[in-house]
Structure 1
Amino acid sequence: MYETRLTTKVHRWPMASLHKASDITDVEFKRAGYTTLMESLTHEQVTHKFKTLVRVVSAFPCQGSVLHSLLSGNYSLQLTLEDPTARIHADVYKDDVVRFFGGFLTADALTRKMNRLLGVPEPEEGDEGAPVARNPPWIWCCLKSYYVDKYDPWGSRRYRVFGTEIRD
């Protein structure tokens, strides 16, 4: 494992964990190097693009019927992402929402994809009222950092998911 975690290597694995990425996402930057969320937060420039290995710990909205309306409008999906170094909020916005879910899908298909992303297990017969233990998978994700106020770029920094698709 030492060779895959060297910080001088471009395609290195995270130093702080032994997590294995799941195969539920496909990313645009396949050959880009890995960056932790903390490395992004402390990056010398406000605006930059990077690929990271994260878990989606929450999403708003997360209901399939509401997600279905996102695909046809100018709304965004907000995700809370974490890795061993930090936790951030990132938006999936406009056309990236359609790509993120893999096209225009039914509300049930969107719910299944979102549950898989959040680590919600498929309900078994007879378990309607049972509490559900979540275990979000580790996924590769492309993010870009940007600012909304040119007079306060560091204070108005935001993150956006792009070039990432949840597979079936």
Structure 2
Amino acid sequence: MHSAEHLRKLLRELDDPDPEHREMPRDYDVPAARQRFRRFADALEGRFGSSVSAGMGQDSSFLGAVSVPAEAMGTGEPLWVLISNFGPFVTAGTGRRWGLPGCEEGLDNEFVTWLDELCTELGCVYVPIELLMEPYDGPTHLGDDEAGEAILAALATASADEEEDELPPAWYDRYFQYM
């Protein structure tokens, strides 16, 4: 497992402020990224069974998500693994509230070790969600734009029963969020 300082350095190095590269880096190899994603999904299915589902992201800085239902986890909470277009970074959490504080609860050390080893094998870097929740202070503009406001409004409508404080941008938003 990489140190937090090393991971912070990588997050900063790959943060290209060019608006044309908010979703993916300049030299993005789409076929290789998709193949890597498929290998992640296959590994998680091998570990948790056929109830695992995988889907690609669109208009986002993440390539795709792999979900493991709570029943397969045996923890009462579903597991999700996100693969970024950048690095490529990989993170994981539990529950249905991706990228919000507390979504790391329920990840056990044995799974995190397994995921970190899988990342190394596939040429990726596991970044703990706790580190990604740190305030974003990089050069890329993550402010609200019309598309972002529309997405946020749709998400707010979908989760109107849950009141949340508006959170400042975090590193999660840079590498694992809709753009």
Give the TM-score taking structure 1 as reference length: 0.24
Larger Rg: 1
More helix by share: 2
RCO comparison, higher one (Cα < 8 Å, 6+): 1
The structure with the largest strand share of the pair is 1
